[in-house]
Structure 1
Amino acid sequence: MKVLFSLILIVFVTIAGFSQNLKISNDGKYLSTEKGEPFLWMGDTAWELLHRLNREETDLYLNTRLAQGFNVIQTVVLAELDGLNTPNAYGEKPLIDNNPELINEAYFEHVDYVMEKAQKLGLQVALLPTWGDKFNLKWGDGPVVFNSKNAETFGHILAKRYLKYDNIIWVLGGDRIPEEAVHFDIVRAMARGIRSVDTKHLISYHPSGTKIASDYFDDKWLDIDMYQSGHSRISKEYEFIKKVDAKRPFINGEARYENIGDRFWDKSQTGWLDDADARIGGYWSMLSGTAGYTYGCNDVWQMYAIDKEPMIKARTGWSQALQLPGANQMKYLKALFESFPWQQMSNNQALISSENPEDESYIVASIGHKKDFIIAYTPTGRSIQLDFSKMKAKEVKSFWYNPRSGKSKSAGTFKTTENPVFEPWSNGWGSDFVLVVMDANSEYQMPRF
């Protein structure tokens, strides 16, 4: 079994190769590699990775996520869970006397190890210099240690240290929005510190729940726009992109976490978000026009273990939670979109001619720019009728794609003058399906698992 797992990892590493610096596409809508190949951001939130895991545990985490198809790891240098005063796995704290201008070399040697390991595996690291409670306490442990002067210095220190790496995306914020002038000053100072050294890595901003980065920072340094759709089953992930001027790649950087309480902040919360929530958030985001999606798990972001205080009712150890169904199903989402020119899709709800109430079963559809394929997603198995006249082909072939397994089967061949109703073979919560329609003469291939 160990030999087989090693072979699988070798295959994945060979495919991924070493990381490349990412850049913005010419049209500004998506990310691409240095070679100009579209890069679909498939992220995972590992906020406490640098703070709580040792090197052996880090290897397990990164290797597992690589094998599951993830290509971006989101983590934090000055972590949320008392990241300044509780030492890392090696007994080291990140700062000397909690001064952002004085870093502890021993702590950062471990950060270096994680960056090196991720780069060798071909994984991008969306690296947050700090969690937001270090400049806007709001909630959490803090303490607030930043002002505009030391924030610029800290940004400069980090940028200089990690300039040589090809696998970094800087992410400011940390589950916060600025509420006072001083907060804006601190964030802009940190960006300025990074840019004083580093002009090759992209910068984004991670806002708090239901917020959009560019609503607060429409600055030149903001290369990637990001939103947090939040941990709610009634979240409409497809709505956010309608609220922005799409001049930057747009990423759903934190969505419904698997294994977290639905709207956990509400005392009346009774249910738990599951793998279906993770899939819905992903397909709704991608089909609305985002350049990527970040999966998350309540147990994994905090690297919960039985000897740790559980946050938000964490209940499964992180190493076991790595294998929750939603995490393993993200590779099917990624593979489906990468089988088509996803970066050239356009959301078009007029494609759907059947009734489509805007509830948890809302169908979202997108069409390729050549009008040669349509992808439509039904979250609970609601039937779909599409307007084929919006395609250029005279005849189309259709497929049902199962987002739980990555398997597909034919749904028939039709003239574009026909108006068939596509009825999934199951419905209800967890019975989500993807309908793919393409020109009968196209060379697109459905993924194979």
Structure 2
Amino acid sequence: MLLPACLGILIAFCLGFVHPFKSTQEAAPKFPLKISPNGRHITDNNGVPFLMVADVAWQMLRRLSYNEAVQYMDIRKSQSFNTFLVQLLPMLPNQRNFNKVSPFINNDITKPNKAYFDYFGKIIAAARERNLVVGIVVSRKSWNVIFDTHSETAWKEYGTYVGKAFAGYSNVIWIVSEEEYQSAAQFGAIAEGIRSVSEGQILASLNTCSPTNLNENPSNFSSLKFIIPDSTVTPSEYAALANWQKNSAEATLRPFLIANSEFPREITDQSSLIRTQAYQSIMSSAAGFCHMSTIKNFNPTWKVNITKDGAEYIHELVKILKGIPWEYMQPDKPDLLPDSIDKADIGIVSLSNKRMCMMYLPESRPVKVDLKYLHGSEFGAVWYSPRTGRRWDGGKFSTAEQVVVQPPDSQPGWDWILLIGSKQ
């Protein structure tokens, strides 16, 4: 991959070789979003890289009034989220939206209820005013009992209807789920209907599977993939899933996002694990991160829990990543790490020209780094705290050698980001 000439200046800035300059407010993305030419990440319509930071808001339409939906969006935007995912249909066929309106007349998918979809359109418009992307999940397992009684023509008509209903909103991406619970014919028919009337909008697929149950049916191909692990996925299985995606990303050339695994209890401090999984996702070459907590169901305590469901660290993640050329960094072999334990535990991404690498340490400990695997003669290191976003100088090294670098604070259980790069 060719890297821009100005990248050297950015590397030097990130590593402290030059004095920081005053940052300017980030420009609003130009919608609709699109897939980057190399098929590895997402950009806005002007080709500017778009780090997707998504939140799962499955039951928004059923549980929230319009004003509450706006309140939710304002909170998530303040936490640096730029996307949220919503189930278009209620959890069960006998349920309705907040206004007590059903999506279909008599549960007949060929007879959509305009008032139901108009309510969502109002919410999407409010999201657009806030430069937020809305991922619309148009199908779900619990509705198979209804959809399976209809023909392929009806499935396509449904896709065409919802596609036309929201095609005018440039901040929309489409998500057809769930690959492992839905026939290829149904997936294809709904997707075909959407594509026929929503030119230019991304169409994604959604998996809710564990690492041992991945379905890569080529007939269900989409341009973006969301992986939403279920509640049975353990932290070790999540790490395996991220590693599997990292190893397969080069072959599939399709951007993906992995959500953190689900936590069943309403009030439990899972912030540390959510933060770790966010970085595991990013270090696996994901196009961003998808955050999931019990907020997705909008239970009565959601307004309290939304400030302490792990999302408090998302702002720091975004701040760190947007301070480096993240869109040019890809997973790397652990040759930089001579120690076998470090090789297994520490994630590494680097630039293709080997002038910069980033490591995620899930715990605080000294790390030996073999600099001969990086290109350059003068190196600098910077430590970042994923908990606070604070930055520390990690030292400078003038020759290609093995060095031991120590996190600024050795508190047990603290995780760290280590950035190493060359000046020239």
1:373 to 341, 356, 359: 356
Deviation at 1:426, TM superposition (A): 2.6
Q: Taking structure 1 as reference, are residues 187 and 146 closer, same or farther at Cα in structure 2, changes over 3 Å only? A: farther
Deviation at 1:24, TM superposition (A): 1.3
2:404 to 397, 418, 421: 421
CA contact (8 A) 1:398 1:437 kept: yes
2:4 alignment partner in structure 1 = none
1:60-89 CA-partner distances (Å, limit 9, x unpaired): 100111111111111111032x2x322222
Q: Taking structure 1 as reference, are residues 289 and 213 closer, same or farther at Cα in structure 2, changes over 3 Å only? A: farther
| Aligned mates of 2:29, 2:357 — CA distance in 1 | 33
Correspondences of 1:240-259 after superposition (within 5 Å) = 240-257=245-262, 259=263
1:323 alignment partner in structure 2 = 307
Bigger drift between 199-208 and 14-23 goes to 14-23
1:253-276 CA-partner distances (Å, limit 9, x unpaired): 42224x545xx9xxxxxx967111
CA contact (8 A) 1:206 1:213 kept: no
| Aligned mates of 1:201, 1:241 — CA distance in 2 | 26
| Aligned mates of 1:220, 1:199 — CA distance in 2 | 19
2:281 corresponds to 1:291: no
1:111 alignment partner in structure 2 = 120
CA contact (8 A) 1:18 1:120 kept: no
Correspondences of 1:185-200 after superposition (within 5 Å) = 185-200=185-200
1:89-138 CA-partner distances (Å, limit 9, x unpaired): 21212111111121112222210111101111101111111222212x6x
Q: Taking structure 1 as reference, are residues 151 and 112 closer, same or farther at Cα in structure 2, changes over 3 Å only? A: same
1:396 alignment partner in structure 2 = 379
2:420 corresponds to 1:437: yes
Deviation at 1:244, TM superposition (A): 4.7
Q: Taking structure 1 as reference, are residues 214 and 25 closer, same or farther at Cα in structure 2, changes over 3 Å only? A: farther
| Aligned mates of 1:253, 1:128 — CA distance in 2 | 16
Correspondences of 1:350-365 after superposition (within 5 Å) = 350-356=335-341, 362-365=345-348
2:276 alignment partner in structure 1 = 280
Runs of 4+ in 1 over 3 A off after TM superposition: 14-19, 142-147, 211-217, 228-231, 243-249
Deviation at 1:358, TM superposition (A): 7.5
Return the TM-score normalized by structure 2: 0.85
* Structure 2 unaligned spans of 5+: 1-24
2:79 corresponds to 1:68: yes
User: In structure 2, the residue corresponding to 1:365 is in which secondary structure?
Assistant: strand
Deviation at 1:327, TM superposition (A): 0.2
Report % sequence identity. 21
Q: Taking structure 1 as reference, are residues 143 and 247 closer, same or farther at Cα in structure 2, changes over 3 Å only? A: closer
Deviation at 1:246, TM superposition (A): 3.7
Deviation at 1:211, TM superposition (A): 5.5
Q: Taking structure 1 as reference, are residues 290 and 212 closer, same or farther at Cα in structure 2, changes over 3 Å only? A: farther
1:130 to 121, 125, 139: 139
1:311 alignment partner in structure 2 = none
One-letter code aligned to 2:35:
I
Deviation at 1:423, TM superposition (A): 2.7
Higher helix share: 2
CA contact (8 A) 2:223 2:255 kept: no
Correspondences of 1:105-254 after superposition (within 5 Å) = 105-135=114-144, 147-174=151-178, 177-178=180-181, 183-210=183-210, 215-219=215-219, 222-230=222-230, 231-234=233-236, 235-236=238-239, 237-254=242-259
2:321 corresponds to 1:346: no
One-letter code aligned to 2:185:
D
* Structure 1 unaligned spans of 5+: 1-13, 265-270, 306-316, 442-449
Q: Taking structure 1 as reference, are residues 363 and 36 closer, same or farther at Cα in structure 2, changes over 3 Å only? A: same
Give the number of the structure with larger relative contact order, counting CA–CA contacts within 8 Å between residues 6 or more apart: 2
| Aligned mates of 1:170, 1:150 — CA distance in 2 | 18
| Aligned mates of 2:83, 2:290 — CA distance in 1 | 8
One-letter code aligned to 2:321:
F
RMSD: 2.6
Return the TM-score normalized by structure 1: 0.81
Q: Taking structure 1 as reference, are residues 150 and 65 closer, same or farther at Cα in structure 2, changes over 3 Å only? A: same
| Aligned mates of 2:28, 2:378 — CA distance in 1 | 40
CA contact (8 A) 1:210 1:229 kept: yes
Deviation at 1:288, TM superposition (A): 1.9
1:332 alignment partner in structure 2 = 316
Deviation at 1:143, TM superposition (A): 8.4
Deviation at 1:351, TM superposition (A): 2.2
User: In structure 1, the residue corresponding to 2:261 is in which secondary structure?
Assistant: coil
Deviation at 1:384, TM superposition (A): 1.9
User: In structure 2, the residue corresponding to 1:160 is in which secondary structure?
Assistant: helix
